[in-house]
Structure 1
């Protein structure tokens, strides 16, 4: 998944700076629906990751039936936390 394409698909813009609050909420809702419907592990992880960055991701147990996918999501969460703690951020 290309991030620019994902942003355009769900928010109608490739720049989140151009997205209003109502469009953002609608895009997040569409992403949550697609996450629930998708059976492709890679797509589910990509959608969940973006939702996580928006603070809208569902619980790991809900999003990922496979324990390995939950572990990968926890690793992603740890990486994001470390990035927030990095000097200069």
Structure 2
């Protein structure tokens, strides 16, 4: 499932700029519920990554019991932070 697909599934659009705070909160809640119910590790990671991007991801200790999954999430966080802070 691609990023735009996830955005449309949870928020009804791939462009978050036009959403009201209530719509953003409702989509984030649906995303959180699906994350809690998901059993496939790859899909679970994708949902967590989207929650991280949106600033609503649970802490790594809560989200991932497997140390390898926590390390992968840390790597993602580092990569994402690097994208947000371009080199000078």
The TM-score with structure 2 as length reference comes to 0.92
More displaced, 31-40 or 14-23?
14-23
The reply to whether residue 56 of structure 1 matches residue 56 of structure 2 is yes
User: Take 1:23 and 1:34, find their aligned partners in 2: how far apart are those partners?
Assistant: 17
Gaps of 5+ in 2: none
Once the two structures are superposed, the pairs formed by residues 3-82 of structure 1 within 5 Å of their partners are 3-82=3-82
Post-superposition, which runs of at least 4 consecutive aligned residues in structure 1 deviate over 4 A? none
User: Take 2:68 and 2:87, find their aligned partners in 1: how far apart are those partners?
Assistant: 31
Gaps of 5+ in 1: none
TM-superposed CA distance for 1:20, in Å, is 1.5
- The total of aligned residue pairs comes to 88
1:8-52 deviations in Å (ceiling 9; x for gaps): 110011211222211110000011111110001111111111110
CA RMSD of aligned residues (A): 1.2
